[in-house]
Every structure is written in structure tokens, then in C-alpha cells.
Amino acid sequence: MAPHTLLLAAPRGFCAGVDRAVLIVEKALEAYGPPVYVRHEIVHNTHVVASLRRRGAVFVEDETEVPSGAVVVFSAHGSPPEAFENSRRLGHVLVDATCPLVTKVHHEARRYARDGRRIVLVGHEGHQEVIGTMGQAPDAITLVETPEDVDRLGLGTDEDVAYITQTTLSMDETASVVDRLRARFPMLVQPKSDDICYATQNRQDAVKVLAERCDLVLVVGSESSSNSKRLVEVARDRGVPAHLVDDAGGIDPAWLDGVGTVGLTSGASAPEELVEGVIAWFRASGEVLVDTVMVVEEDVEFAMPSVLARRLAELRGEDPDAVAPDADDPDADDPDVDAAAQASR
């Protein structure tokens, strides 16, 4: 039997950085024609990647796999400086889809390193964003994941230490590590503004609200998406059964035994059409009431990379100089990312 109520989390799904990254690949295919190469999965969602692949995107693990002179899009997670250097050397048309919030952390890392500070990065080893961030100042950055990692740092308490964080961690996830850093390094320098991605925090806050009202929580997202898996953990931490599903086909009807209310959300890289597919699955199973639980409204937009904006303007017969600056410079000093992103939260 279908549960009698399906509560939809709001916000859910694509964040502004993911929405921008996917649109960049789509517009690059429109502007240059296929193939367009993409360094790593543009976002961590199997459906999105498969859809773009069908349209002519070619996903590679390394920019050196891309033919000279070809168009290459760098993923939303960010890349180390040597990747950009390799692409320039190979004469690629380079389109940087790095989320502006990740770019902000990169600028902080380079600034701290120039100032001679030791940098502690709070994040998950092996995550693409962490790899890209550590590449900004590899000799100055040390990665920690837990408070115990802080205790093992080979740094003196009187050293000049600053910290930065992986953007896709929530404040809840980083709080204990940052508290330990502050306790150990009294002069700890912190970022000018919070590195935590607004979308990560908002989606976790929405799941907390869902968990108070639901018997079961379903999260739409891919196994490769760390933020989607964390949404499952947030629900389970509050004593509510939760499961990650790539799409409606991943739902086990046995999960619904004895369940009256199901909460439904999606990770920041999951398209809304997959959520709609889950809703359709429930409706096909029987009568169900669908309602939305609004926790916070989001109104964030990020501009297109200038190289792509200029190309599209040329194709429309417009003056590219009136649309965007002449070039994107990933090494530019500390731009006002929030202003450039036209973000309001």
C-alpha cells in the first residue's frame, strides 16, 4: 500500500553551482559543437553524465587525454593549477565550470600561502574538490578529517595557522574539527566568510525538519555524490530510516511496510526530473497526498564563464566585449565572488 503522505523537502536538488556547471556543458556543445571534453564528471550524478554523453560530451580523467586545440570543460569541483597549465600548453579552448564558492576557497588558500601561513584543510581525502584545493598550495596545506587528525598535526601551537574547509561539508560536520583547531591554535586564522556551501547546509537543515515528521526518508542521488549520502546520514542520525536511490527504480517496496509518511529530497547534483519520477512511482502505487515542506528559499545565480559568454554572444551577432571581460583568469587575486555571483540568500 502506498503511504498516505509524501513530504517534499524544499530546498532540494540542483544548487546554483551544479546548475551552472551542467548549463556550461550544454551551452559549450551549442557554441562549439560536439565533441566537448569534460575533465572528470561535471557533477556527481550518473543520469546527468549519461544525458550529456548522449549529446556529445566526452568525459576524461585527465586533461592530457584531450586532443590539442579541443574544447575542454573543467568540472564544478575545481582542479589544481597544473591542470589549467596543461590545457593551456595543449592549446585547449578552456571553459572553467568550477563553482565560484570553490574558487573562493582556492583564492584563500593561495593568499594564506603567500602570507607564509600553514593551512589546515578540513575535508574528505580523495574528494575531487579536496584534490583541487590542495593543489593550490601543496607545500602549505595539510588535510584533516577528524578532531583526532588535529591532535596528530606536527605543528607548534605558536605557529601561524589558518584553516579552510571543503565547501560541501555542513557546519555540523566541521564544527568539532574547527573547535579542536581553535583549542590547539589560539591565534588560528579563519576565512573572511564561511566556506560552507549554502546549498549543503540548507539541504541538510531541510532533512532535519523532514525527519521530525516522517517515518522514512528517501534521498534521490548517486552513490558517487557525497552530499547525497550525507543527507541519508542526517536522517538516520535522528532515528529515521533513510535510503539513497538513484531513481524510482531503486525503491524497495518492503521499505514502505508500516510507513505512513515518507520524506523525499535530493542531493545537490540530482536533477528534479528524478524526483518527479519518484513522485510518479508513489502515485502509481495508490492514492497519496503530496505536500512541500519549505525550510528556506534560495535565490542564487552564478554568471557564465566569460570565454563561453563571449562565444555565445558572437554566435548571436552581439558585441562580446559588452557581454563579458576578455578572459577568465583562475589565478586572479581574490575577486569578490559573492558580488560576482549576484547571490542573495
Q: Show which residues are catalytic.
A: 129
Query: Is 209 buried (19+), middle (13-18) or exposed (0-12) by CB count in 10 A?
Result: middle
Query: Is 228 buried (19+), middle (13-18) or exposed (0-12) by CB count in 10 A?
Result: buried
Q: In what order do the strands lie in the sheet with 71-74?
A: 57-60, 36-39, 71-74, 93-96
List all residues 6 or more positions away from 250 whose beta carbon is below 8 Å from its beta carbon. 243, 244
Cα separation values, 160 from 115, 117, 136, 244, Å? 9, 5, 18, 42
Q: Look at residue 33 and give its three-state secondary structure.
A: coil
Rounded distance, CA 109 to CA 118, Å?
A: 10
Nearest CA-CA partner of 105 in 73, 80, 75, 85:
80
By the 8 A CB rule, do 234 and 203 touch? no
- DSSP annotation of 344 reads B
By the 8 A CB rule, do 70 and 103 touch? no
Q: Give the β-pairing of 242-245 and 216-220.
A: parallel
Rounded distance, CA 277 to CA 135, Å?
A: 39
